[in-house]
Amino acid sequence: MGRAVLIILLTSILTFGIVSIQVNRSSSESGSSISKYYRDLYTRNIASSMIEILRLRLNADTSFRVNILTKEALLGGEVFYKLVDTVINTTPLVKAFVNVNYEGTTRSTEAYFIVEKNSNSNLPPFFNYALFSGEEMHFNGGVTITNANNGLNANVHVNGNFSMNGNNKIEGFLTYTGMAWSNPPQALLNQIKPINNPTNLPVHFKTQEIKIPEFEPEKIKSKATEIYYGDKTFSGNITLGTLQNPKIIYVSGNLTISGNVSGYGVIISKGKTTINGNVTITSPNSDVSSIGIYSGDELVVNGNVTLNAQIFANDEVRFNGNCKVYGNVVAREEIVMNGNVTVYYKPANEVLTKPIWANTSIESVVQVKTMYFYE
């Protein structure tokens, strides 16, 4: 009996020893695997950071080039890089090559930049888009961004993240500074189709922030042709001015539009702007906008609304329902579109932006965009 107990005890000790060895070996291999994972991840981050540094240097000076492989220390790693001119599909680009060594882990990365001038230097840069958001943008439902039969790309820009959920479509390029997401996932490729893309450039890509200054309505008050103190509701038919004599309406409180608007001019509110019901805002000019609606706070559109206007909000913009916009939409904060919203892009009119943003067009004439990125 004693001998049997001794055999069982020795067998248990041996089994425990074997299991301990296996566990220690697995732990060691697991630790090594985790360590390799983080070295790879850190090396990748160094490479991405260097690409972004080169893009910012190029944006600051579009003549900046590094034609000889150059070494630089960055974030504890050793970086070799070049920045040279190249051409892809007849499009002039600037190629960045980066090679990183971090604790024995290496990674090579390439990026291709395009240097663009704003399409209209007389407009503030943020008004050169069908949609522009200073923070985030979200589509939910059947949102369509196209043009007003003028053959132009209806481009969309977001200083942040973009998402679309449902059957949405953009007939222009999508650019963003954060991340882009769609449901279904393939919609980012299948539902973004620029009308003009002769060199087959990527339809959506990450780029740098485009600054948008704070809108201060009270500073425009002295230029107004009509002033309303407190909250104001426009109902019925409202007629603005003419091209030669545009009307500038200033409201010191919240503004509600529940009637029809026509003519030439700008409506400015210091507070929130709400457009409700069966509203139609018409324009005598089919080429550019004739009416500007500028909100000092958020701007909300509900119902069956047709707007021929260029729209700006100092806060967020929300569209709910069956809305049509013939013009463009700009928000300093987020843009949210719910339902069957269609934007027919029509260029903004500098006559309607100059009284408010007289000098902002000088700030960002050139933009450097990342067109391709390879790891």
CA 139 to chain centre: 13
303 torsion bin: left (phi>0), alpha (psi -120 to 50), beta (else): left
Between 14 and 168, name the one with better pLDDT.
168
Nearest CA to 129 out of 364, 296, 371 is that of 364
The residue with greater pLDDT, 3 or 164, is 164
- Residue 235, classed as helix, strand or coil, is coil
Q: Mean of the per-residue pLDDT values for the chain?
A: 84
Given the structure tokens 């559109």, which residue do they identify?
Answer: 301
Backbone angles phi, psi at 124, to 5 degrees: -60, 140
Tell me the average pLDDT across 184-188.
90
Q: Where residue 313 falls among pLDDT bands split at 50, 70, 90? A: very high
Helix (H) or strand (E) holding 328: strand 323-331
In angstroms, the CA 198 to CA 255 distance is 44
**Rounded Cα gap, residues 9 and 5, in angstroms:** 6
User: Comparing 7-16, 348-357, 364-373, which segment has the lowest mean pLDDT?
Assistant: 7-16
pLDDT at 3 over 50: no
Residues 6+ apart with CB under 8 A from 272: 254, 255, 295, 297, 298, 299, 300, 315
Task: State how far the Cα of 283 lies from the Cα of 265, in Å rounded to an integer.
Answer: 10
**What is the rounded average pLDDT of the residues 217-226?**
91
- Do strands 105-117 and 144-147 pair parallel, antiparallel, or not at all (unpaired)? unpaired
DSSP 37-98: HHHHHHHHHHHHHHHHHHHHHHHH-TT--EEEEEEEEETTEEEEEEEEEEEETTEEEEEEEE
Segment 190-209 mean pLDDT: 85
Q: Of the ranges 39-48, 156-165, 200-209, which one carries the lowest mean pLDDT score?
A: 200-209
* Listed range (12-21, 126-135, 205-214, 234-243) with the worst mean pLDDT: 12-21
Radius of gyration of the chain (CA): 28
**What is the rounded average pLDDT of the residues 198-216?**
83
> Using CA atoms, how far apart are residues 212 and 353, in angstroms rounded to an integer?
13
pLDDT band at 282 (very low <50, low <70, confident <90, very high): confident
Indicate if the pLDDT at residue 197 is higher than 60: yes
Query: How far is Cα 294 from Cα 330, in angstroms, rounded to an integer?
Result: 9
Among 75, 76, 82, 86, which residue's Cα sits nearest to residue 99?
82
What pLDDT is stored for residue 284 in this prediction?
A: 66
On the question of a cis peptide bond just before residue 92, with omega within 30 degrees of 0, the verdict is no
pTM of the model: 0.72
Question: In Å, how far are 9, 10, 11 from 2, measured between CA atoms?
Answer: 11, 12, 14
The whole-number average pLDDT for the span 289-293 is 91
